[in-house]
Structure formats: C-alpha cells, structure tokens
Amino acid sequence: MSQEHKDKVLAEAYSKLTELNASFLREIATELKGPNYYLYLRAFSLGLQEYVEAVTFCHYIKVGRLITLEEVNRPLIFDEQAQEAQSDIVAASEPILEKPPATIALAHTP
C-alpha cells in the first residue's frame, strides 16, 4: 500500500469516526445520563466496543503504537448544551449564572 493511499484511507476513517462521535455517540451519552446508563448497558456496549476497536486500529496504523485509555475516553466526554428557556418572561426573571457547562461521558469502562 502506498503512503498516499494509506493517508487517504486514514483520513476517511478519521472523518467517519469524528462524524460518529459528534452525532450518534453524543446522543447516546445524553440519553444515558444518570441511572439509564446501567439500565441500557447491554444494548449499547457492543457498539461501543466496536468503536473502541476501530479507534485503536486507526491509531495504531497512523502512529505505530497502541492508544491509551485516556486517549480513547477523551473524545467520549461531551459538554452538555444548555437548554433554552421556555419563554422570554422566564428568561428575564431568572438570574444569570456564570458557570461552566456540565459534562456528560460515555465511558466504556464502568
């Protein structure tokens, strides 16, 4: 396999993993916040294992070493988006608090 072809395939793989992470995995992490994580663990754990396998393989091909647990978990921690107020009246009556967004995580190891 030529280096140019290898780079092209890796770029495509990383773009698909990034797209998967930004859309589906974020939605899953949001839905599984709290006790729902353990309720649905068997339903999503196989897919998450496949994701980790793909990330590990891509990283090994690109860098030449295995990926660390911290490097796998880092993209699986998302900032929780603040929900918008239901109306302008409620928004005006609530005090403005400056606090960082909460995080939600889809850790693959409990």
Annotated binding site for Mg(2+): which residue ranges? Answer: 53
Annotated binding site: which residue ranges?
53
In a 10 Å sphere around its CB, with 0-12 CB exposed, 13-18 middle and 19+ buried, how is residue 21 labelled?
middle
Q: What is the DSSP letter of 21?
A: I
Q: Are 76 and 107 in contact (CB under 8 A)?
A: yes
